[in-house]
Amino acid sequence: MKKFYITTAIDYVNGRPHIGHAYEKIIADVLARWHRIKGEDVFFLTGTDDNAQKNAEAAKEARKPIKQFVNDNAKIFQELCKVFNISNDYFIRTTEKRHIKFSQEIFSKSFKKGDIYKGKYEGYYCLGCEAFLTEKDLVDEKCPEHNKKPEWREEESYFFKLSKYKDKIISLVSSKDFIIPKDKKNEILARLKSEELKDLSVSRKNTEWGIITPIDKEHSIYVWYDALGNYVSALDYPKGKKFKKYWPADVHVIGKGINWFHSVIWPAILFSANITQPKRILVHGYLTVNGSKISKSLGNSIDPIELATKYPADSIRYVLLREVSLGDDGDFSEEALTSRHNNELANDLGNLVSRVLTLAEKNFSKGLKKSQVDKKLFSKLNIKKIDSLMENFEINNALSEVWKFINECNKHINQEKPWEMKGKELEKHIYSLLESIRILSILLSPFLPETSNKILKQLNQKPGNLKEAKPGLVKIYKVKKEGILFNKIEEKMLKPDKIENNLDKIDIKEFSKLDLRVARIKEVGDHPDAKKLYILILDLGKGEHELQVVSGLKENYKKEELINKRVIVIRNLKHAVIRGIESQGMLLAAVFKDKVSLAQPDKDIEIGAKVM
């Protein structure tokens, strides 16, 4: 069986976790869960860095014994994992005996090899980074990562011959997939080739907190030389079964701020200790909140545990995964969460499951046996593509591909109208739709684990794997609908004067986000559950998918007046479900008193033309 070992960075416990901590763990969790449904033997590690000097400083400020402070805060990070259904196989703490033993062993090994020597360090030290910085690293005399002036320190220290391994590190980093994405790889390579690689201070003359070096009782091991080793110590190096089974790590998931430590310092330590290198460093960007960097001084740090008391954990997972392209910085806002929760989770997915289960219960209360599968429904489900995107760490694109199938299922219901069917035809369509949401429960399980379990419970099915994500496997369905998947979140409305101010400030960049197209109304039908609504099918020209729009034009236009009429449609509007029917766009119209008049382009304008 193929193995997959994935890790997150271990977190400092000098304070409570913020939304960025949750984001990293969710990324790793999705990847771990995906490889599990592929049938692989997965080991997923996360944990806390207990030994950092900044933890000791924070404990003093809190007027607590260091050990108690660290233990209390480590529990909060463990709670974070539970709240967001993080499926880690182990939660390591660097105060564990086996980790202490490992750190001292590799320190001693490097010392005996001649890679560690005693010296004196003079330089700028950033407590936030737990690192010495050069003047080149500073911006306006401040650490760019923490926006604080570093301290000038002069101290006795043991040094690690980082410079000795420069050529080996450059060769490793230059390999195709060692650092992902490519721009983060190029950043490291540029720095390695343009700067002198100085030897690294790996101890501090402080034995109050941390791991004592095995060669000098007056020194404790510098945090990065200690902390990075958790990825190996958790596997019981060197003779443990887990080490032999899972090392090297397949993926280290980290934030861009610690890329240098993982891509340069960690490989050098491993080279010195004669331990195989990890296969891949996956670097994610930072989260901003409402467009601003997360900062205590700005007061915009979001506690994810508190956030999960207001919104479902799956909704938070979803917006973080869907909004942000892995590797790039991304923004988090409660407005974006509310919008995606209501429009995509509640409307798209929630309504699909509700409609299918309602039809199944109504027509097959005693059970529905395996029937013929509607191949057309599954023709656009591309699991190989989704898997390929996941293997390339394009999580948001993979999730988008799953959502295409959700929208296809909703479109299928609207077009086929199974509520009007009987006999074998009805059995075929309901069975196929039940199979579609079973398959969706498998595909969504890495992203929305709680939601996936709720769907399976109503289908009376057990969790499946990726090989089972194909139609025609279930012999009989006995479904039991239990409420709805997602209750809608009440959206915060802007006051009228705020709306006017916002309109005044809209610039051309904002307006240009609208994709306005010329379309032809191809079909007009009555909404089955709303007397005042039409269902329009719009032609957008060659090579374009037709759009289905639910429109309130019934009191202003007869069907024959609308057929073949050229209109202007907003093509990239978020899809909505109106009275059980999906609407994929909106038409432009002028409204005066009770009269509605559709905006129409000239007849010689081509169908599909972009409206500027």
Which class in CATH covers the domain with range 3-293?
A: alpha beta
Instruction: Give residue-wise pLDDT tens across range 246-304.
Output: 999 999 999 999 999 999 999 999 999 999 999 999 999 999 887 777 765 556 789 99
Classify the C-alpha dihedral 318-322-326-332 as positive or negative. Answer: negative
Q: 18, 142, 166, 404: which one is catalytic?
A: 18
If you ran DSSP here, which 8-state letter would residue 143 be given? B
Q: 75, 82, 149, 293: which one is catalytic?
A: 293
Q: 25, 81, 143, 262: which one is catalytic?
A: 143
Helix, strand or coil, per DSSP, at residue 33: helix
Examine residue 248 and say whether the peptide bond preceding it is cis (omega within 30 degrees of 0). yes
Q: 35, 81, 99, 129: which one is catalytic?
A: 129
Smallest Cα–Cα separation from 563: which of 584, 534, 527? 534
Q: Mark whether 146 is an active-site residue.
A: yes
Low-confidence ranges of the chain (pLDDT < 70): 128-132, 146, 295-299, 491-510, 580, 593-594
In this prediction the pTM is: 0.79
> Could you state, in order of their start, the residue ranges of all structural domains in the chain?
3-293, 334-477, 504-598
HEC profile of 146-210: CCECCEEEEEEEEEECHHHHHHHHHHHHHCCCCEECHHHHHHHHHHHHHCCCCCEECEECCCCCC
- Rounded CA-CA distance 236/230 in Å is 10
Choose the CATH number for 334-477 among 1.10.8.60, 3.90.1150.10, 1.10.730.10, 1.10.3080.10: 1.10.730.10
Which class in CATH covers the domain with range 504-598?
A: mainly beta
What percent of the chain shows pLDDT beyond 70?
A: 94
Report the pLDDT value the prediction gives residue 480, as an integer from 0 to 100: 94
Q: Mark whether 296 is an active-site residue.
A: yes
Q: 38, 64, 142, 146: which one is catalytic?
A: 146
Report the pLDDT value the prediction gives residue 500, as an integer from 0 to 100: 41
Q: Mark whether 293 is an active-site residue.
A: yes
Beta strands per DSSP E along 302-348: 330-332
Report the pLDDT value the prediction gives residue 54, as an integer from 0 to 100: 87
- β-partners of residue 610 are 517
Q: Mark whether 409 is an active-site residue.
A: no
